[in-house]
Amino acid sequence: MSAVAELQRVPDAETIRNVTRQIIRQSEFDESWPWFEKIIALLNAIKEWLNNLESWAMANPQSARVLVILIVIVLLGLIGHLLYLAFGDLMPWKRGSKAAPARASRWDIL
């Protein structure tokens, strides 16, 4: 019975604190957060790319203008497509008077 009582005995709070401090001082818990450096490197790469793009745009103003117009057209097309998808469920897009009747849901036959 005393062996069971010895196993079930909870150590005092100070012992738990000391063991926890020893564990946290180990080298595995001393590493810096690696994602911070990765995020900073990514932001610096984006900044460098934008600086290069700006210098290219200053050297080629006509090409930069054409590129901006193409990007705006693609962006408007993507926004229009997203709106079509969002409102496609809400509004029936009829294709004239010969529109096919809406197919009944398969659950209607049950």
Would you say residue 110 has pLDDT above 70?
no
Exposure b/e, 15-47, CB count within 10 A at least 16 = b: eeeeeeeeeeeeeeeeeeeeeeeeeeeeeeeee
Is 60 exceeded by the pLDDT of residue 52?
A: yes
Single-letter residue type at 89: D
Q: Kindly indicate the confidence band of residue 58, based on its pLDDT and cuts at 50, 70 and 90.
A: very high
Of the two residues 101 and 92, the one the predictor is more confident about is 92
Task: Look at 64 and 101; give whichever has higher pLDDT.
Answer: 64
Alpha-carbon distance of 99 to 64, in angstroms, equals 45
Residue 12: pLDDT over 60 = yes
> In 60-107, which residue ranges form alpha helices assigned H by DSSP?
61-88
Domain residues of the chain, as ranges? 2-89
Is the pLDDT reported for residue 87 higher than 60? yes
Give the C-alpha separation, 27 to 66, whole Å.
55
Report which secondary-structure segment, H or E, holds 15. Answer: helix 13-24
